């Protein structure tokens, strides 16, 4: 499951895609499903002319942080 929204930003000078949720089944993790979801979100953002893809994640979610950093996001 992946959910996001698009909005106009001043700091990125244009449309931005905000990924509000990305969820994979715990027993299916490590199979590339999260990467497929993020790739799809990135591709949709590009199609809509977004300048960036952003998200946030709670501090205790260290496993999620490792995934996002591996995907290329920065803290």
Nearest to 10 by CA among 49, 52, 42: 52
User: Residue 13 and residue 10: Cα distance in Å, rounded?
Assistant: 5
- Examine the pLDDT at 8 and tell me if it is beyond 80: no
Q: Lowest-confidence range among 2-6, 11-15, 56-60, 70-74?
A: 2-6
Q: Is domain 2-71 classified as CATH 3.40.630.30?
A: yes
> Which stretches of the chain are assigned E, i.e. beta strand?
2-9, 14-22, 52-55
Q: Delimit the domains of the chain by residue range.
A: 2-71
Model pLDDT, residue 39: 92
- Examine the pLDDT at 73 and tell me if it is beyond 60: yes
pLDDT digit string (tens) for 32-60?
888 898 898 889 889 988 888 888 888 88
């Amino acid at each position: 499951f992946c959910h996001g929204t698009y909005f106009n930003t001043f700091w990125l000078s244009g449309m931005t895609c905000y990924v509000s949720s990305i969820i994979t089944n715990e027993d299916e993790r490590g199979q590339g499903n999260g990467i497929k979801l993020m790739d799809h979100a990135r591709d949709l953002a590009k199609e809509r002319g977004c300048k960036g893809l952003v998200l946030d994640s709670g501090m205790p979610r260290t496993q999620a942080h490792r995934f996002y950093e591996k995907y290329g996001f920065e803290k």
